[in-house]
């Protein structure tokens, strides 16, 4: 009975201090500190401006009490240095000696006094981390947001960045369960000692704390080649993958990079809460899977990728090795930023976008939902790529691309509307073997470019032996002189260059995985035909 009374008394005292009394103490102490430290603050403003440039303050959205966002203020500690391609250098190279000194002395944290005065933060509490971490916490770890975040905390005086995320969160939760006036006072004194001794500034080999990707095992959907790159990214990031789900029964029971393929995707429809990532590079399929499977979608960033701390990354997004995402870019949900791809400042990639290896998106570009940028493609500044557009490999986009458009070339031009009929290009001729075309036509199950009328016309011409006319276009005679000049038996004249080249590629058996060298004078039609066959125009 007495024990229960003592426990109740302790809880009441904790709640009183943890509420209005703690907030009052914070504001009084912050006001006093701000007045006393004002000369130092002004001096640091001048030094940061001279050494690192503008802006002097670093601003970023962070989760506060109960996960409510607020704007965090700190002195900047890094330059905006870039390589010759314009991509931000890694953190280690942008963190100057002056920036390291600011961090080691914790002077970069002083602007957070403004956050305390505004009631966003407290002097003591769990440190405010990134907004995207919210969907990676376990329910227990999420309890760290039951109190206001702090300028310092129990984890900071017990290792700071030099301890694992698991240990850090355990220390945060211990503080939440034991918050009190004397504990706060102890932490403040220990913080002063740690700052003077400059302990725990960063974990070994990291200029900043490593990215938190979660502490529970995750599942991966998809067992193709793209999945291997996703698995490698997760492994390098320290994430434990529990299993892979794929609908190919031949893969069930096999291992991919040491991870078992445990069964079909339908096994994930049981309503059990899980953490996972979709390792499928098809944008439409990724969207479909995300809509029908209940999960906490993981955001994965390879350790060698450079992602500025002002960047927002949506759920389910993966950033591969060597990728660079510059300041204030906004990346949506389930986006693929491929190997060595770059996204410049203030650009937006909406949900379910995929940008290929080595592709480059310049500043202030808007890429709408479901669009795909091919390998090595480039988009000039301040352009818009419409919803569901496809940009061919190596293409350079110099003007806006409409929704549902396939564009290729240098500069990129529309070669086909995805839902409609192919665009018509000037008349050209191709010489082909009738027998080889007939053979390929008979075994081809899909005609992505031909409509029914065109397909019937091709079959009638080739099978009748009368190759003097293209019956799909009345009045067009066969170019006998052209065939004779080439020294071939047959030639077919068509008004649609895309269709003509598709016939030639079909004859040669060109398909996915092949590269087609195309001449500059017919690049648009040639690239279209290659793309429609699944090949890559070069």
Q: Are 197 and 105 in contact (CB under 8 A)?
A: no
DSSP string, 107-130: GGGTTHHHHHHTTS-EEESSPP--
CA–CA distance from 24 to each of 34, 146, 153, 383, 396 (Å)? 15, 18, 18, 50, 58
Please give the helix or strand (H or E) that residue 372 lies within, else none. Answer: strand 372-373
Q: Are 185 and 177 in contact (CB under 8 A)?
A: no
Q: Are 126 and 155 in contact (CB under 8 A)?
A: yes
Tokens of 70: 């607020």
Please state, in angstroms and rounded to a whole number, the distance separating the CA atoms of residues 347 and 367: 8
Q: Active-site residue numbers?
A: 345
Tokens of 212: 């938190």
Please give the helix or strand (H or E) that residue 283 lies within, else none. Answer: helix 283-292
Question: With 0-12 CB in 10 A as exposed, 13-18 as middle and 19+ as buried, what is 354?
Answer: buried
Please state, in angstroms and rounded to a whole number, the distance separating the CA atoms of residues 506 and 484: 23
Phi and psi (nearest 5°) for 173? Answer: -65, -35
β-strand pairing of 428-430 with 492-494: antiparallel
Q: Are 350 and 336 in contact (CB under 8 A)?
A: no
Query: Residue 393 contacts by C-beta under 8 Å, 6 or more apart in sequence?
Result: 356, 374, 375, 376, 377, 408, 536, 537, 538
- Residues paired with 373 in a beta bridge: 355, 391
For CA atoms 241, 243, 247, 252, give the dihedral sign: positive
């Amino acid at each position: 009975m007495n024990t229960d009374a003592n426990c109740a008394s302790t809880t009441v005292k904790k709640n009183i201090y943890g509420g209005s009394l703690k907030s009052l103490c914070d504001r009084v102490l912050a006001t006093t500190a701000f007045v006393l430290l004002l000369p130092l603050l002004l001096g640091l403003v001048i030094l940061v401006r001279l050494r690192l440039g503008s802006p002097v303050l670093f601003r970023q959205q962070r989760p506060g009490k109960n996960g409510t966002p607020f704007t965090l203020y700190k002195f900047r500690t890094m330059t905006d240095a870039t390589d010759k391609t314009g991509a931000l250098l890694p953190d280690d190279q942008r963190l100057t000696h002056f920036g390291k000194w600011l961090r080691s002395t914790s002077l970069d944290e002083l602007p957070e006094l403004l956050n305390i005065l505004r009631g966003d933060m407290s002097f003591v509490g769990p440190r405010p981390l990134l907004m995207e971490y919210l969907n990676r916490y376990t329910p227990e770890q999420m309890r760290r947001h039951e109190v206001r975040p702090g300028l310092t905390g129990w984890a900071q005086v017990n290792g700071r960045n030099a301890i694992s995320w698991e240990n850090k969160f355990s220390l945060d939760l211990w503080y939440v369960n034991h918050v009190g006036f004397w504990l706060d006072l102890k932490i403040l004194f220990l913080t002063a000692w740690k700052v003077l001794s400059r302990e725990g500034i960063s974990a070994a080999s990291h200029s900043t704390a490593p990215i938190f990707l979660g502490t529970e095992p995750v599942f991966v959907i998809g067992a193709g080649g793209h999945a291997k790159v996703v698995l490698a990214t997760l492994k390098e990031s320290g994430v434990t993958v529990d299993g892979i789900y794929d609908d190919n029964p031949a893969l069930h029971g096999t291992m991919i990079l040491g991870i078992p393929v445990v069964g079909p995707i339908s096994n994930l429809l049981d309503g059990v809460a899980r953490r996972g990532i979709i390792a499928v590079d098809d944008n439409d399929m990724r969207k479909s899977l995300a809509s029908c499977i209940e999960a906490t979608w993981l955001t994965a960033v390879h350790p060698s990728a450079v992602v500025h701390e002002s960047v927002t990354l949506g759920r389910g997004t993966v950033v591969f090795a060597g990728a660079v995402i510059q300041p204030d870019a906004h990346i949506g949900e389930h986006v693929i930023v491929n190997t060595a791809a770059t996204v410049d400042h203030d650009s937006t990639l909406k949900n379910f976008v995929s940008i290929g290896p080595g592709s480059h998106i310049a500043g202030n570009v808007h890429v709408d939902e479901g669009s795909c940028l091919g390998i090595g493609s480039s988009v000039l500044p301040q352009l818009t790529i419409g919803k569901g557009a496809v940009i061919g490999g190596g293409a350079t986009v110099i003007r806006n691309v409409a929704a549902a458009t396939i564009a290729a070339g240098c500069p990129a031009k529309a070669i086909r509307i995805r839902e409609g009929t192919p665009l018509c290009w000037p008349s050209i001729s191709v010489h082909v073997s009738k027998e080889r075309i007939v053979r390929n036509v008979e075994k081809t199950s899909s005609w992505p470019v031909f409509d029914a009328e065109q397909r019937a016309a091709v079959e009638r011409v080739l099978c009748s032996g009368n190759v003097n006319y293209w019956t799909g276009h009345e009045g067009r005679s066969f170019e006998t002189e052209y065939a004779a000049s080439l020294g071939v038996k047959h030639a077919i004249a068509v008004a649609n260059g895309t269709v003509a080249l598709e016939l030639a590629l079909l004859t040669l058996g060109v398909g996915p995985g092949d590269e087609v060298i195309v001449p500059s004078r017919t690049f648009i039609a040639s690239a279209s035909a290659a793309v429609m066959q699944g090949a890559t125009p070069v």
